[in-house]
Amino acid sequence: MKNLARVGFVVFAFVLFVGLACGGGAKHTNESDASPADDNDNDGSPDDDNDDNDSTADDDDNDDNDATADDDSAVGPWTPMNSNTTVNLYGVWGSAGDDVYAVGYGPSDFHGTVMRYDGTSWTQFANVGEWPNAVWGTAHDDIYIVDGAPKGAVWHYDGSIWSEMNWVIDASLTSMWGSSSSDIFAVGTAFSDDDDDSAANGNYAAVVRGAARSGKPKETANSYGVILHYDGHDWTQMSTQYVPGFLGIWGSAQSDVFASGTFVYVLHYDGSSWSEMDTGGYGMAALWGDSNADVFGGDGAGVILRYNGSIWNATVAPANFAASAIWGTSPSDVFAAGDHYPPEPVTGEIAHFDGSSWITMSDNFPNVLAAVWGSGPSDVFAVGGNGMIVHYVGSR
Note down the domain range covering 27: 2-392
The contacts found for 309-313 with CB under 8 angstroms, 24 or more apart, are: 311/278, 312/266, 312/277, 312/278, 312/279, 312/280, 312/282
What is the band of 9 on the pLDDT scale with cuts at 50, 70, 90? very low
Highest mean pLDDT pick, 2-6, 36-40, 262-266, 309-313: 309-313
Hey, is 9 helix, strand or coil?
A: helix
98-145 pLDDT, tens per residue?
Answer: 999 999 998 876 789 999 999 999 999 999 999 999 999 999 999 999
Amino acid at 277: M
Interval 375-392 mean pLDDT:
97
Residues 219-248 have a mean pLDDT of 82
Q: What is the total count of domains within the chain?
A: 1
What lies within 8 Å, CB to CB, of 123 at 6+ separation is: 55, 56, 57, 59, 60, 84, 115, 116
Residues 325 and 336 sit within 8 Å (Cβ to Cβ): yes
The domain that holds 28 is classified in CATH as 2.130.10.10
Sheet holding 132-139, edge to edge: 132-139, 142-147, 153-157, 162-164
